[in-house]
């Protein structure tokens, strides 16, 4: 049986996206719903710190190899905000729509020339008794003036990645999004590292 690879999330949308990114892998990929519930306080001051907190807690709670990520939307005109606070930008218990409405409200007076932003994702890979590793992915783009599209999650309806002809992530299929997304780039690098480990173990 394939060894387990835990994705440290309860978010089914994110898990489906990550499974698609990882593709065929020498591991059996499962989310946290397969284990007793636990929580992690994201007290890190950076994406890197939060990703490591979640991956290391995942290893302690499951005993298996664990991948976790923290992603943030960084708007140049807002000095990098919402950044590490992206998931709770509109306050504790906020929804995706709450965050998008706040961001558009804060940026409503900004012209197209000042709406540059980027998504950044940091993936942490942790294993029992081993040093954790980090992998990063970035996607530049801009913030739209209104939400567009019904796919994806988070800030996808208000973020138009560079090279997508003005479409937002929420207007793309998952396959199209994964060609450009920060998460796909970061998890893709993690996947290549895992494949290299598996090949060394098999002596290839």
pLDDT at 204 over 60: no
Q: How many CB atoms lie within 10 A of CB 63?
A: 12
Q: What is the pLDDT of residue 203?
A: 60
- Residue 16: pLDDT band (50, 70, 90) is confident
Share of the chain above pLDDT 70, in %: 97
- The residue ranges of every structural domain in the chain are 4-202
Q: Is the pTM of this model over 0.85?
A: yes
Q: Is 66 exposed, middle or buried (0-12, 13-18, 19+ CB in 10 A)?
A: buried
Q: What is the pLDDT of residue 21?
A: 84
User: What is the DSSP track for 72-99?
Assistant: EEEEGGGTT-BGGGGGGTT-TT--HHHH
Query: Residue 45, SS3?
Result: coil
First-residue to last-residue Cα distance in the chain = 20
pLDDT at 158 over 80: yes
Q: What is the pLDDT of residue 136?
A: 97
**Among residues 60, 26, 1, which one has the least CA distance to residue 197?**
26
Q: What is the pLDDT of residue 202?
A: 63
Active-site residue numbers?
A: 70
pLDDT at 131 over 60: yes
CA–CA distance, 156 with 84 (Å, rounded to integer): 17
Task: Specify the CATH number of the domain 4-202.
Answer: 3.90.950.10
Q: What is the pLDDT of residue 39?
A: 82
Reading the block at residue 30, the tokens are 């499962």
Task: Give the mean model confidence (pLDDT) for residues 190-196.
Answer: 87
Task: Give the mean model confidence (pLDDT) for residues 105-120.
Answer: 97
CB within 8 Å of 146: residues ≥ 6 apart: 104, 158
Give 67's DSSP letter: E
pLDDT at 200 over 70: no
Residue 22 or residue 160, greater confidence: 160
Tens of pLDDT, residue by residue over 22-63, are 887 888 899 998 888 888 888 899 999 999 999 999 999 999
Dihedral pair phi/psi, residue 13, rounded to 5°: -65, -45
- Nearest-10 crossing angle of helices 12-22, 182-202: 50
Region of 154 (left: φ > 0; alpha: ψ -120 to 50; beta: rest) is left
Half-sphere exposure of 24 (CA within 13 A, CB side): 0
Share of the chain above pLDDT 90, in %: 70
Q: What is the pLDDT of residue 86?
A: 96
Q: How many CB atoms lie within 10 A of CB 189?
A: 17
Evaluate whether 175 touches 89 at the Cβ level (below 8 Å). no
């Amino acid at each position: 049986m394939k060894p387990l690879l835990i994705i440290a999330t309860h978010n089914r949308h994110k898990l489906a996206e990550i499974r698609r990114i990882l593709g065929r892998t020498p591991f059996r990929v499962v989310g946290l719903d397969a284990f007793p519930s636990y929580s992690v306080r994201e007290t890190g001051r950076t994406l890197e710190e939060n990703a490591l907190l979640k991956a290391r807690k995942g290893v302690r709670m499951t005993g298996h190899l664990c991948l976790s990520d923290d992603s943030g939307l960084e708007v140049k005109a807002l000095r990098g905000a919402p950044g590490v606070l992206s998931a709770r930008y509109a306050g504790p218990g906020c929804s995706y729509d709450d965050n998008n409405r706040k961001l558009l409200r804060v940026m409503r007076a900004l012209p197209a020339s000042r709406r540059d932003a980027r998504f950044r994702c940091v993936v942490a890979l942790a294993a029992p008794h081993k040093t954790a590793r980090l992998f990063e992915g970035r996607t530049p783009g801009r913030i739209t003036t209104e939400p567009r599209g019904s796919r994806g999650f988070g800030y996808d309806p208000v973020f138009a990645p560079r090279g997508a002809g003005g479409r937002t992530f929420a207007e793309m299929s998952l396959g199209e999004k994964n060609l450009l997304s920060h998460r796909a780039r970061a998890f893709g690098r993690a996947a290549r590292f895992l494949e290299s480990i598996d090949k060394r173990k098999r002596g290839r």
